[in-house]
Structure 1
Amino acid sequence: MVVWVTLESGGIWNQQNRRSEYLEAARGFLRKYAAAFPENRIARMYLGEPITAPKRYDAVPGAPDWAVWQRESLERLADIVEWWIDNRMRDNGEYGGGWGDDCEMWRWWVPVLIGFDSPKIAAAQERFSDALMSQSHMKSGYTTRMSDVEHTAEDSADVITPMMHLRPDDELWMRRAVRLAELMRDRWTGRNERGQLQFKSTYFTAHKVDDDAQRACDTVYHPRAVQPALLYWQRTGDPKLTELFGDWMSTWVDAAARAERGKPAGIIPSAIHWPDGQVGGLGKDWFDPRNHGEYTLYLWPSAMSMMTDTLLLTWRMTGDEKYLEPIRSMAAVLLETLENPPKTEPKPGSVAWCAQRMGGLANTLAKYRFLTGRDEFDRLLERTMSPYMRYRMRGDRGPMTETLRQTAEALRVNFEGYTSEVRYTDRVLRFPTLFGKGMLAEPAEPSYTPNTLLLYCMATGDPGDAGYFPLNAVRWLTGPREIAVLVTDSGPRTLEADLFHFGQAPREMTAELYLLEPGRYTWQIRISDQRDTPLSTGRFSVSGPRTRIAFEVPCRALCRLNIAAVREH
């Protein structure tokens, strides 16, 4: 249990001395146990002796390496998800970790939940989401249990958001999303002393806002409170939400621009205090608001990517360039520091100190690049882009394929570390982080952590994650087994994807398309290395936010699906 407490507690895990102390104690216990019970493989697993899964996924002729590794990763990920459904889902819909932790599991289910269509996994998510929203503390659409926004928002955001992907036209889930915007407008926010709209506290419920001055902060975590409403806004363009979210983001644009309390101009703070509107909280440093007992949660940069993605979404929905200003100023700071690294350790709160902690900015910049085609951030993206983004921008499959191999290797071992040994359901895929120099054990072979984000990006074409401002171009309405997919191009008038079916008979498939603008389109399937007559072709029209096409792919041959707009004469 000491191991899992260490993984769970940010106050332990994020402080090297405390983490080392706890892991050293755990190591001692495990060594004694392994000596007393040498036949127990689980104890040895914790000490760095991996347990390899008996099932193998061998390469088949014609399958590229990326497809082999992706297929194995998807199937092993699905195995883990289904283990939790089969062995831990209770009659009331919980998985045993408590609603507040169980609800987070969908975040790593995303590749098989949103990228593909597994009826079993989708049904489990729907059952869980319905069950949690039916709990007495959720009857008002948001929790009635007082805590900080990172925790109060989970029970709604992490059940409504996945259902808006699975059931995008369901009125119930859309109403639940809009309800959060209503609470934000009517209860959680107000005009500060500068006349700007902001959240009044980090602590609030469906019925009450905490009035403790120490907790009175709007933060970069607050987009989580309205995450489903942001997705609803992205899809509908609701003008009332444009006014609400645009007003709120204007407050953050202003706070980012100000040099205040030692914060450099152009840096988004992690908190804005209420009601004075100053950057930071009541802590002595601007970057450490001290608005929560576990202070590292809101310590800069905190959940900065939530804020930068929300700013990008607001720019997209309004067309107002001012919402890009904080993203541009922070990108400039990061690039300057990467190209001219400081020679000494930067002072906390300084420009260089902030730049060293801006890793989450890359996904926001990648989304901007895909949306616009503009190259203004390319110098920075060259240094920080994800493996999938590198493939899409440069055609370089090397890092992507290597990361897939590492993901497959991570999921190939220590199945129990992702299932029966887990003690906190918001840490299911964290087990591999225990291994390495200075950690619980240093195994003979390298230890990798599964990269589920890459699996999602490859399957859907989204350059970033599915949480905020998702740009998933497609969902494959087929199960996540014996299949590998790589979206090679996506945009408002085109989609291209490579597909490899590992089965021994042709496969009927349907693709649900999300980003195509209204118009007429053609599609064709062809063997990738053949330029002659395609295997099949078709025409279709797009008139709404989602369109489906059905087709067949042959077995064990790399195929390309090409969708293109019909040129009107």
Structure 2
Amino acid sequence: MKNTLTATITWPVIFIISCVLSDGTDVFAGQNPRLPSTAESPVAQTSSITLEPGEHLKVSKVMPLDGRLVRGFAHGPIDGRTDTRYYNGVVSEWSGVHGGGAIRYRAFNGNNGLHITLPEGGVDAVFLRGEWAGNLFANLPGLGVPAEAEPLCEVQPTNGVFIRRFVDRLHARRLSFFYESDDLQRTLQEVAFLRLGKTFPPSESRDEEFLRPASGSPPDEYVRRAMAVRYGKDPGGHPAVHRLAESGNGHLRLTTHHPLQLVTPPQDPALGLEAVTIRFRVPHLSQDLDLTLHVQDVLDPRRDVMSVDLRLGREGHYAVTLDHPDQVYLPASEQGSTPRYNPAPHRNASTAPAIAWLSVSASAAVDLRDVTIALHHTPRSQALPEAADWRLRLLKGLFQSTSEPRPWMHLKNTGPIAAQVDSSKAIQRHRASLVEVLETAEIARRLLPASDTVRQYYDWIYQNVDRHAPHPTNLLPDVPEAPRWAVQVREGWRNMSHIARWWLDNRLVATGELGGGINDDTDMFQTWQFLPMIESSPLGDRLKDAAARLSQTAVEHTLEDGLNRRTTDALHAYEEGVNQLALCAWWFYGDPVHFERAMAAARSVGKLMVETEDGRVHFGGRSFGIHEAREGFTELGRSPGNANWAPARFMLHPLYVVGLYNRNPTALDKFERWGRTWRKYQSPGRFVGQVDILSGEPTVVSERPTAEAVGPVNEWLALYQMTGDPEWQEPFTFTMAAGGYWGTHAKYGRMPHALLEWPEAAQTAMRQRLTRPEDGYAAFFLHKDRRYLEYWLDASASWFGWFPHMDTAAEQQTDRVLSYKASVPISCYLGDAPNRNRFLNFTAVSYEGLQGDDFAALVWDAGPDVLKVAIYNFRDAALQGRMRVWRLDHGRYRVRTGPDADDDGHMDELSGERTMELQRYAAVTLTLPPKQVTIVEVKQVEQLGDLRSRADLALSPLDTYLGPEGEIDVKVHNIGALPARDITVSLVRGGTVVASHVIEHIEDPHDLLPRIATVHFSDAQDRDTVIVDPEETIPEIAEHNNRLVLGSR
């Protein structure tokens, strides 16, 4: 198959169509969806491809440029198989609302819309296999179907096949399939696009080999194994295999729907296969006959590279050329290192002979006479681009659909890979999927030994085997005047922001979904939660907008009263959107709608905790949802989890967010009683990790605090952060004094406990223990020595620089795009790096008005009364921005700035000093001279009252809408800790108050129930401002949420 467009396709714009037929934003904005039409149909068309006696028909398979299920790469309908499997072995072809494989956009439009972009040149026929029914559209402008769009045709298969041949070539660049009935049994198994011609154009490079089928014979060992892979059973001695030879008798007797296999002699690996021509004579035919021809993938017996159904109407001589994507065999000699995974029949040259394999079947019994098979060869170098393109796309699809369980992570450097695959219990559920990935990666590596994309897949799936092998040192940009630490830290930002932008650009839809399902898409946002804190705009704005949309989608589809609607295990209950509500309450700090959603989640989570007669508080089970919150648990067994990583604890996230904001007594009460329950169980020599809920008897106990049996150290620290009560410091110092495992450690260079000031003995012990290069930012923060940053700054840049494709265009499941390895560079910017399933958040600062590529920062010190940050400006001009503080207690502070020309971490001279009242979320303006390190030092000079004991009146664009006639109902929320009285609400236009109302009283949400009052204005205009408490007479937690510009949503 020769197609100059195909030769120019570059990764990752990849999507291929492979079809086997028998008795089957936004993306493109271009042409009008209406095409020239007849009275019967928009485009004249027929329902079969008829092969006429005496003519030579050429059927060319058109390789699409791209294709998406909504916006996610989906290989199921296009991989040459009708039984594409998901990672768990279940057939997962696209049917409807449940999506397919690793792609799920259920809330957006029910996973509707398979969009295929075609090269120029047009197509003459569309084939589908499967019972899928719906409509085919041409050149739709986006992801949906406009009301005025006419379908190109209605897809209604007969006996599992749909064929539409167009009388005139269809020159559409994008074809889209939309289902109408969500019948899960009606899957779209395969789809292909064909061009039809009368001749096979001459080629100077073509080398034709003419073969004829010999008598049927049992398959040899290789073919027998390959057929077993293909058909799922051992064909044994069944004479269904016909050898092709120059001296064959040329006779095939076909029975109804029983395929005959045609196997060539060994081929020359120096040649590629670009097409196959089949000539035959039908001596007798009493009725129309459908003849199905398949060309198998020469390197993978599971799939076809092309197939076609042809209609025969009478006796005669026939000839058809199948112009398929070019195929190549494995090289005759090994190239590169010895294959790691090499079980028969995949694959080395000695056990995988270079043969071509075809099959033929018919809708009724028929004799084919004078059968001749012509193999059209081309030099391997000319066939390799198409063959490699096909293999890379298969590799992407197989990897993507197996990326959720990641069975390759169970492979170790402990013996032959094949033996591990066969013996590992952890792999067995995913064995078939893993084998396909390993085989395809091995084949791709041998076909393309110089491909960096293939290298990334290969190294990724063997990352645990090579765990101790160093990655090449990442080449940092050459910025001679910049400190090395600044270049390294910025590289961490660049890697993370590149990944996030790729997903926003290529996978995001209007509902905030990224195509992994709501529960896994929320995980992806958790891995990016630090990015808007570094660049508020444009990336931060894009992320926050998408997150807010996904939060709303979760509220509408997966959550009820802030909790998962369907009962599931604790981890997945958290991922159904509880995590997203908590994240948005932080990202949209002070927005009352987001905050009240977190309050609702906190209220419902509290109902999942059961209190025993003796006053203990436990989560009531391992699995739960809104039903258990409302009706209780049917039975109580052991407390959830038997290890320190007990996912039920993640459900405390919304209580934590609410408690940090206003020390809500209901949230704190449940959290603290749960924490005290676990603290009381711990004693020297007897550390408890699980108990029987009713009896209180420990069921997991250890003599020393190990990872398997220790109290909730991180959650105790969360309680200390919320309350400031030394009671919650004691559990950590207790475990330290007991020796052994502390219940936490520096993972990826992050350890929140290292960011606090402890009693001297504990602080000394921590400094003594955190001294390894791997301890990263935690060790730096304790020792104030930048050498501790080097290991993870280099390792992070190396990892993400070594695998740029894998977190982006490989399109893994969304919960498998991880950012833990960037924890140290992110901590340098922010003072901490909260992440997915790690909700403790000691972020010290965030930035606004700065582009992430323009600066790097290093938080040297942070606490309740002190802050020190070094910031380097890469630009040639001064930068203006703001730095918000997150850990400082309310007080008056001396803010000093100055240069650090010698980069020793100390201010050389004072260039500015001011005294400011600061508190959590307060902003410090920044002026950063060019090409210079600026030190910002903040020290408390006077402590003021805790803001969290105040009211907090707040407005939100999410529930205040301007009507067409100027009417507006303004909802005023109190999300603080005290009631508010005599509240003035003013409508301001151009600096002038045009109307005001007074609200007598709004109670505080002490019971986690929203407190809202509504005032009405009748003559509001776009861009007017609503201000609550314009004279600032009411002390509040925050003031920024008292103003709302209408139309600012």
Smaller-chain TM-score range?
0.7 to 0.9
1:474 maps onto 2:845 in alignment: yes
Contact 2:518–2:554 (Cα < 8 Å) also in 1 = no
Unpaired stretches in structure 1, ≥5 consecutive residues? 259-263, 288-299, 338-354, 431-449
**3-state SS of 2:625 partner:** coil
Over residues 500-551 of structure 1, what are the superposed CA-to-partner deviations in whole Å (9 max), with x where a residue is unaligned?
1111211111011122233322323211038665344433222x43211212
Q: Which residue of 1 aligns with 2:830?
A: 460
Supply the AA of the counterpart residue of 1:546. Answer: Y
Larger radius of gyration: 2
Query: Aligned in 2, Cα 1:359/1:461: closer, same or farther, shift over 3 Å?
Result: closer
Task: Say which structure is richer in strand.
Answer: 2
Distance in 2 (CA, whole Å) between partners of 1:30 and 1:494 is 53
Over residues 108-157 of structure 1, what are the superposed CA-to-partner deviations in whole Å (9 max), with x where a residue is unaligned?
31332334423333433333343333332224221102111111012333
TM norm structure 1: 0.77
Equivalent of residue 164 in structure 1, options 585, 590, 606: 585
Supply the AA of the counterpart residue of 1:208. Answer: E
Q: Which residue of 2 aligns with 1:487?
A: 859
Contact 2:636–2:693 (Cα < 8 Å) also in 1 = no
Query: Aligned in 2, Cα 1:424/1:215: closer, same or farther, shift over 3 Å?
Result: farther
**3-state SS of 2:627 partner:** coil
Supply the AA of the counterpart residue of 1:34. Answer: R
Equivalent of residue 934 in structure 2, options 553, 559, 565: 559
Contact 2:610–2:617 (Cα < 8 Å) also in 1 = yes
Q: How many residues align?
A: 502
Please give the residue correspondences for 1:333-352 in structure 2 after superposition, counting only pairs within 5 Å.
333=738, 336-337=739-740
Equivalent of residue 179 in structure 1, options 584, 595, 600: 600
Equivalent of residue 719 in structure 2, options 277, 292, 314: 314
Equivalent of residue 203 in structure 1, options 599, 609, 623: 623
Please give the residue correspondences for 1:212-231 in structure 2 after superposition, counting only pairs within 5 Å.
213=635, 217-219=639-641, 220-231=646-657
Q: Which residue of 2 aligns with 1:146?
A: 567
Equivalent of residue 382 in structure 1, options 750, 763, 768: 768
Q: Which residue of 2 aligns with 1:443?
A: none
Supply the AA of the counterpart residue of 1:101. Answer: D
Deviation of 1:95 after TM superposition, in Å, equals 0.7
Equivalent of residue 330 in structure 1, options 732, 735, 746: 735
Contact 2:767–2:782 (Cα < 8 Å) also in 1 = no
Contact 1:7–1:13 (Cα < 8 Å) also in 2 = no
Query: Aligned in 2, Cα 1:123/1:279: closer, same or farther, shift over 3 Å?
Result: farther
1:509 maps onto 2:881 in alignment: yes
Query: Relative to structure 2, which stretch is displaced further, 132-141 or 499-508?
Result: 132-141
Deviation of 1:172 after TM superposition, in Å, equals 1.1
Supply the AA of the counterpart residue of 2:916. Answer: F
Q: Which residue of 2 aligns with 1:28?
A: 439
Unpaired stretches in structure 2, ≥5 consecutive residues? 1-396, 413-419, 464-470, 944-1049
Contact 2:534–2:829 (Cα < 8 Å) also in 1 = yes
Q: Which residue of 1 aligns with 2:806?
A: 417
Query: Aligned in 2, Cα 1:152/1:233: closer, same or farther, shift over 3 Å?
Result: same
Deviation of 1:59 after TM superposition, in Å, equals 3.2
Please give the residue correspondences for 1:99-178 in structure 2 after superposition, counting only pairs within 5 Å.
99-131=518-550, 132-178=553-599
Q: Which residue of 2 aligns with 1:524?
A: 896
**3-state SS of 2:805 partner:** helix
**3-state SS of 1:153 partner:** helix
Over residues 309-341 of structure 1, what are the superposed CA-to-partner deviations in whole Å (9 max), with x where a residue is unaligned?
2112324555655544543343345xx44xxxx
Contact 1:464–1:470 (Cα < 8 Å) also in 2 = yes
**3-state SS of 1:8 partner:** coil
Query: Relative to structure 2, which stretch is displaced further, 4-13 or 323-332?
Result: 4-13
Distance in 1 (CA, whole Å) between partners of 2:857 and 2:882 is 13
Query: Aligned in 2, Cα 1:497/1:373: closer, same or farther, shift over 3 Å?
Result: farther
Query: Aligned in 2, Cα 1:121/1:365: closer, same or farther, shift over 3 Å?
Result: closer
**3-state SS of 1:376 partner:** helix
Distance in 1 (CA, whole Å) between partners of 2:807 and 2:747 is 29
Q: Which residue of 2 aligns with 1:9?
A: 405
1:252 maps onto 2:678 in alignment: yes
Q: Which residue of 2 aligns with 1:426?
A: 815
Contact 1:473–1:514 (Cα < 8 Å) also in 2 = yes
Contact 2:563–2:578 (Cα < 8 Å) also in 1 = no
Query: Aligned in 2, Cα 1:376/1:503: closer, same or farther, shift over 3 Å?
Result: same
Supply the AA of the counterpart residue of 1:203. Answer: S
1:42 maps onto 2:438 in alignment: no
Q: Report % sequence identity.
A: 19
Contact 1:69–1:408 (Cα < 8 Å) also in 2 = yes
Contact 1:456–1:462 (Cα < 8 Å) also in 2 = yes
**3-state SS of 1:134 partner:** helix
Query: Aligned in 2, Cα 1:15/1:330: closer, same or farther, shift over 3 Å?
Result: farther
Contact 1:527–1:557 (Cα < 8 Å) also in 2 = yes
Distance in 2 (CA, whole Å) between partners of 1:326 and 1:362 is 24
Contact 1:457–1:465 (Cα < 8 Å) also in 2 = no
Distance in 2 (CA, whole Å) between partners of 1:464 and 1:79 is 19
Deviation of 1:405 after TM superposition, in Å, equals 1.9
Q: Which has the higher contact order (CA 8 A, sep 6+)?
A: 1
TM norm structure 2: 0.44
Contact 2:701–2:709 (Cα < 8 Å) also in 1 = no
Q: Which residue of 1 aligns with 2:790?
A: 401
Runs ≥4 in structure 1, deviation > 6 angstroms?
Answer: 302-305, 360-365, 463-466
Distance in 1 (CA, whole Å) between partners of 2:746 and 2:862 is 23
Distance in 2 (CA, whole Å) between partners of 1:304 and 1:174 is 32
Q: Which residue of 1 aligns with 2:664?
A: 238
Deviation of 1:286 after TM superposition, in Å, equals 6.1
**3-state SS of 1:135 partner:** helix
